[in-house]
């Protein structure tokens, strides 16, 4: 697995001002990349920016949702289209630093892991922001760990690198922000070997566009129960 291709899924909703910058930063990496962008019915110029980037060859595929279906649905569209060896999600809002990706890929490249989580809470460089956000994230991770019997420090992280052949077998159904909970539950149920490494994180303030609120936290708690208590049947667990 020394010559892996990393499929990067960029889900974008009204990210006209940042999506080109994040795609440019991805192409600075010393990796073989397949970059797939999903425009989730943006109301600004995001779709036009993505089409221009595709015409320039820096995006391998652009998927346009005619209606806004949510982050989870956008990611599922991107995952279904991926052809690389490993898949990762890259948010288009510049909170996550793509220069972490080569290091996160290493446990999969060496055959030690099926999935790698980039943790914001393992001591990597990070912008100092909201105390209660960190408490909420740690609480959700704790409750998730109680169901999955994993010892993750950051279940809600965007940076989850997963072998494509495994990821495309997982029965993922979430349309919105339950995606992070669901993929963690399904990886645990599939018996995946999961590693966790520290990452850089530059969180945004609400004035800068952050949208997560306490209501999303309550919804995540419900999703943890929902996706862990009654997993779907079938042979998708076999690796």
For the chain, first and last CA: distance in Å? 17
pLDDT number for residue 231: 86
Q: What are the structural domains of the chain?
A: 5-229 (3.90.550.10)
- The residue count for the chain: 239
The closest of 95, 39, 74 to 176, measured between CA atoms, is: 74
Rounded to whole angstroms, the Cα distance separating 139 from 152 reads: 12
pLDDT tens track for 83-133 = 999 999 999 888 899 999 999 999 999 999 999 999 999 875 555 555 767
Could you report the per-residue pLDDT of 121-176, keeping only the tens digit for each? Answer: 987 555 555 576 778 888 999 999 999 999 999 999 999 999 999 999 999 999 98
Cβ atoms of residues 39 and 47 within 8 Å: yes
| Token pair of 239 as six digits | 């690796």
Pairing of strands 115-119, 160-163: antiparallel
Query: Of 60, 200, 57, nearest to 119 (Cα)?
Result: 200
Give kind and range of the element (H or E) at residue 11: strand 5-12
* Per-residue pLDDT at 210: 52
pLDDT (0 to 100) of residue 182:
97
Element (H, E) at 81: helix 71-81
- DSSP state string for 140-180: HHHHHHHHH----S-TT-S-EEEEHHHHTTS-----STTHH
DSSP 84: S
Between CA 50 and CA 15 the distance in angstroms is: 10
Least confident of 29-43, 171-185, 216-230: 216-230
CB–CB of 88/7 below 8 Å? Answer: yes
Question: Does pTM surpass 0.85?
Answer: yes
């Amino acid at each position: 697995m020394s010559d892996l291709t990393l499929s990067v899924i960029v889900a974008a909703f009204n990210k006209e001002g940042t999506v080109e910058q994040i795609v440019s930063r991805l192409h600075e990496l010393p990796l073989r990349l397949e970059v797939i962008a999903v425009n989730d019915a943006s109301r600004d110029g995001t779709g036009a920016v993505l089409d221009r980037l595709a015409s320039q060859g820096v995006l391998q595929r652009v998927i346009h949702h005619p209606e806004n279906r949510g982050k989870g649905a956008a990611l599922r569209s991107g995952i279904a289209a991926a052809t690389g060896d490993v898949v990762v999600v890259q948010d288009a809002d510049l909170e996550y630093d793509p220069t972490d990706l080569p290091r996160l890929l290493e446990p999969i490249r060496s055959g030690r892991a099926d999935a790698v989580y980039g943790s914001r809470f393992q001591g990597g460089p990070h912008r100092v922001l909201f105390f209660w956000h960190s408490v909420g994230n740690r609480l959700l991770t704790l409750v998730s760990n109680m169901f999955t019997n994993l010892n993750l420090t950051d279940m809600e992280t965007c940076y989850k690198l997963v072998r494509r052949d495994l990821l495309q077998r997982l029965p993922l159904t979430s349309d919105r922000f339950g995606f992070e909970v669901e993929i963690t539950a399904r990886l645990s149920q599939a018996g995946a070997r999961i590693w966790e490494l520290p990452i850089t994180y530059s969180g945004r303030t609400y004035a800068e566009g952050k949208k997560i609120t306490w209501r999303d936290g309550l919804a995540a708690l419900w999703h943890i129960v929902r996706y862990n208590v009654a997993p779907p049947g079938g042979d998708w667990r076999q690796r």
